[in-house]
């Protein structure tokens, strides 16, 4: 085991029946000397309050509130920051979700930590003790909803709603005492596997099929949270086939699950993935807004639109999706990706909390009503492959509970819990390293807001033209003079999808923050940045800096006393990261040097 639970093993006989029982069990296991009286007040739900001091505490909360309060005490005790006085705590969002992209064959789409913990050989198959650890990992940081199967629903995942229901019910029972409710990704065309001739959401037979299916599913798993749907996206079926819109599709499913208190989480990751690169009129980031904004106010109450943080797809840096600032009459969830698909694949370090902070600086917390993240775990012994990638899972839990957490405090807490033997100096070194890792990765991979220079399909390592002449709508359009896309009114006009005061920040290249410059503007390599450097020089400098910082990171990691179970893996991955950083630095600099013909002012090695 790893992550942050190492120090809190659960007794093998533990078999709690409810979250409040779990709370008592975890407290007596983890802090037997701490006196805590538990006071169950059902109406408090997820909320808890704590009063007292280290000689004794009173913890009040609902069923799950007691569990979250217990973990608050356990983690504070372990991190040596138990306090006196009183604490009141309530989560910002009722649904704090993890989305697993696990397939029935046991593979994980964009998974970098081994195979699925839920599936094997086409069906549910798991080790109950590992499921219990997952449930504890989630509960310890307040996460409460888990979608176990890939949003790309491929046969036989459909059987989860059919003959695999009894197995699903057994799995749900393992999570229940930890306050975790399951969710399922569903295939919009599933009625057609059962003799219904269509999946048209306005067809009565289709509606009846889903209503009856929901009844069967909720009979087996009465607390199922709902369904997650990827429709009309990257080959998944959806309402467009029948000339219907996404409100028609989502509302039909919402109607079916409403009697059971279920929700429909409907993803907004929809765009033309068969674009001709010669087509300069289409600009992919505009797609979600164009599709969904006109439907504001048309969705049923139990529909939540799930929106990726950026308008493209989990790149290293993207501006906030305009949908997250718009659609005031629609419930929305923010979707983040813990799996490091474009951000180093759990080989390179990329601590996400600073990036999330930026999202919430741009988006008031109340614009969304739920939060989700694509999981970064798998069946590797330590769950997240890279031992240090667990920091993203941990801090995501804290963020979902309270989006205004300070990234430094959150990261520092994870280190305190995971590496309690570190001195204060070592602790600070690792905190600084993790907090700066995103910017370092960005420096060597993504020049000033340009994404997608990755190797196609695998998405690890550089290939600056890999997606340039492809059909995914992801172009940088670098030529011998200029690079970037003009997304202002004079260009694709994507910028007009934002509220005016937000758009203002990015509208002129003179004022646009450097790190978004080439996302919003097309500029010559000789463009003068505010600090006097040319654009191309800034890009060269960033790449050389990113490589140098990665070297320094390696030295820091070598100097830290990681425990034996983590150290070899951390250093092995660091070596791979260093090779990757060098490759990125050389490939991107060479690519742009060959195009522009402009040498590095400092005469550093760029290949010609």
Active-site annotation, residues? 234, 313, 341
* Separate counts of helices (H) and strands (E) for the chain: 15, 16
Neighbouring-strand partners of residue 185:
228
Q: With contact defined as beta carbons under 8 Å apart, do 257 and 304 qualify?
A: no
251 contacts: CB under 8 Å, gap ≥ 6: 201, 298, 299, 300, 303
Q: Tell whether residue 110 is a contact of ligand GCU (CB under 6 A).
A: yes
Q: Does 93 bind ligand GCU (CB under 6 A)?
A: no
**Residues 293, 323: contact at Cβ < 8 Å?**
yes
List 187, 232, 313, 318, residue binding ligand GCU (CB under 6 A): 313
Binder of ligand GCU out of 21, 109, 167, 468 (CB under 6 A): 109
Residues 520-579 that bind ligand GCU (CB under 6 A): none
- State the nearest-atom distance from the C-beta of 316 to ligand GCU, in Å: 14
Residue (131 or 339) nearer to ligand GCU, CB: 339
152 binds ligand GCU (CB under 6 A): yes
Closest to ligand GCU by CB, 341 vs 380, is 341
Q: How far is the CB of 269 from ligand GCU (least distance, A)?
A: 5
Nearer to ligand GCU, 76 or 309 (CB): 309
Contact call for residue 162 and ligand GCU (CB under 6 A): no
Rule CB under 6 A: is residue 241 a binding residue for ligand GCU? no
Nearer to ligand GCU, 271 or 444 (CB): 271
Smallest distance, Å, CB 473 to ligand GCU? 11
Regarding beta strands 181-185 and 226-229, do their DSSP bridges make them parallel or antiparallel, or are they unpaired?
parallel
CA dihedral 578, 580, 582, 584 (to 10 degrees): -150
Nearest residue to 334 (alpha-carbon basis) of 519, 153, 99, 111: 99
Tell me which residue of 227, 232, 256 sits closest to 242, measured CA to CA: 232
- In the region spanning residues 253 to 312, those forming contacts with ligand GCU, defined by CB under 6 A, are 269
Q: How far is the CB of 484 from ligand GCU (least distance, A)?
A: 22
What are the residues facing 303 on neighbouring strands? Answer: 264
Minimum CB separation of residue 64 from ligand GCU in Å reads 29
Q: Is the Cβ of residue 151 or residue 338 nearer to ligand GCU in the bound state?
A: 151
Backbone dihedral region for residue 145 (phi beyond 0: left; psi -120 to 50: alpha; all else: beta): beta
Helices (H), 403-497: 407-418, 424-445
Q: Tell the smallest beta-carbon distance from residue 137 to ligand GCU (Å).
A: 23
Among 117, 138, 151, 253, binds ligand GCU (CB under 6 A): 151
To the nearest whole angstrom, how small is the minimum distance from the Cβ of residue 407 to ligand GCU?
A: 24
| 230 is a contact residue toward ligand GCU (CB under 6 A) | yes
In the sheet with 48-53, reading across from the earlier edge strand, the strands are 36-40, 56-61, 48-53, 85-89
Q: What is the 3-state secondary structure (H, E, C) of 250-288?
A: HHHHHHHHHHHCCEEEEECCCCCCCCCCCCCCCCHHHHH
Strand partners, 53: 56
* Smallest separation, CB 135 to ligand GCU (Å): 25
Q: Is 448 left (phi over 0), alpha (psi -120 to 50) or beta?
A: left
Question: Considering CB under 6 A, how many residues would be counted as binding ligand GCU?
Answer: 9
Q: Which is nearer to ligand GCU, 24 or 273 (CB)?
A: 273
Please say which residue, 150 or 418, places its beta carbon nearer to ligand GCU: 150
Cα separation, 306 vs 315, in Å, equals: 17
DSSP 495: G
CB 92 within 8 A of CB 402: yes
List helix spans (H) across 122-262.
128-140, 165-175, 204-220, 246-257
Nearer to ligand GCU, 231 or 483 (CB): 231
Q: Determine, following the binding rule CB under 6 A, whether residue 320 of this chain makes contact with ligand GCU.
A: no
- Binders of ligand GCU among residues 339 to 368 (CB under 6 A) are 341
Which tokens sit at 102?
């696990």
Residues in touch with ligand GCU (CB under 6 A): 109-110, 151-152, 230, 234, 269, 313, 341
């Amino acid at each position: 085991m790893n992550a942050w639970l190492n120090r809190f093993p659960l007794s093998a006989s533990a078999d709690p029946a409810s979250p409040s029982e779990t709370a008592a069990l975890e407290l007596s296991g983890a802090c037997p000397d701490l006196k805590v009286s538990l006071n169950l007040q059902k109406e408090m739900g997820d909320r808890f309050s704590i009063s007292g001091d280290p000689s004794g505490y009173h913890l009040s909360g609902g069923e799950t509130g007691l569990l979250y309060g217990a973990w608050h005490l356990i983690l504070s005790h372990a991190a040596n920051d138990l306090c006196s006085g009183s604490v009141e705590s309530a989560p910002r969002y009722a649904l704090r979700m993890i989305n697993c992209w696990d397939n029935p064959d046991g593979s994980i789409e964009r998974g970098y930590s081994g195979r699925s913990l839920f599936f094997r050989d086409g069906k549910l198959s798991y080790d109950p003790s590992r499921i219990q650890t997952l449930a504890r990992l989630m509960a310890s940081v307040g996460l409460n909803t888990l979608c176990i199967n890939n949003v790309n629903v491929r046969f036989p995942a459909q059987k989860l709603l059919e003959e695999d229901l009894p197995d699903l019910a057994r799995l749900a029972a393992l999570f229940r005492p930890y306050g975790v409710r399951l969710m399922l990704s569903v295939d919009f065309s599933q009625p057609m596997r059962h003799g219904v001739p269509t999946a048209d959401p306005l067809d009565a037979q289709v509606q009846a099929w889903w209503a009856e299916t929901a009844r069967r599913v909720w009979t087996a798993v009465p607390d199922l949270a709902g369904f997650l749907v990827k429709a009309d996206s990257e080959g998944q079926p959806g309402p467009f086939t029948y000339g219907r819109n996404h409100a028609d599709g989502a509302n039909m499913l919402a109607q079916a699950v409403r009697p059971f208190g279920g929700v429909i989480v409907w993803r907004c990751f929809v765009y033309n993935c068969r674009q001709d690169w010669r087509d300069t009129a289409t600009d992919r980031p505009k797609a979600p807004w164009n599709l969904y904004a006109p439907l504001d106010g048309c969705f049923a109450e139990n529909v939540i639109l799930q929106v990726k943080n950026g308008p493209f797809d989990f790149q290293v840096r993207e501006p906030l999706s305009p949908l997250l600032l718009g659609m005031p009459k629609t419930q929305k969830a923010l979707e983040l990706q813990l799996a490091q698909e474009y951000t180093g694949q759990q080989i390179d370090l990329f601590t996400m909390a600073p990036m999330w902070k930026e999202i919430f600086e741009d988006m008031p917390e109340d614009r969304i009503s739920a939060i989700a993240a694509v999981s970064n775990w798998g069946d590797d012994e330590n769950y997240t492959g890279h031992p240090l990638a667990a920091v993203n899972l941990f801090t995501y839990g804290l963020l979902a509970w309270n989006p205004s957490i300070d990234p430094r405090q959150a990261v520092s807490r994870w280190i305190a819990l995971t590496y309690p033997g570190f001195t204060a100096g070592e602790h600070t070194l690792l905190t600084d390293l993790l907090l700066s890792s995103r910017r370092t990765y960005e420096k060597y991979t993504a020049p000033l807001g340009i994404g997608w220079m990755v190797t196609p399909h695998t998405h690890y390592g550089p290939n600056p033209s890999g997606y340039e002449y492809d059909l995914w709508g992801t172009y940088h359009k670098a030529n011998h003079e200029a690079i970037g896309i003009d997304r202002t009114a004079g260009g694709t006009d994507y910028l007009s999808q934002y509220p005016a005061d937000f758009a203002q920040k990015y509208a002129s290249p003179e004022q646009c923050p450097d790190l978004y410059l080439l996302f919003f503007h097309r500029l010559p390599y000789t463009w003068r940045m505010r600090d006097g450097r040319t654009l191309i020089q800034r890009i060269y400098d960033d790449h050389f800096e990113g490589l140098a910082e990665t070297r320094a990171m390696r030295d820091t990691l070598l100097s830290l006393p990681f425990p034996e179970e983590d150290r070899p893996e951390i250093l092995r991955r660091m070596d791979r990261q260093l090779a990757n950083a060098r490759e990125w630095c050389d490939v991107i600099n060479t690519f742009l040097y060959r195009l522009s013909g402009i040498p590095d002012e400092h005469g550093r090695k760029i290949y010609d």
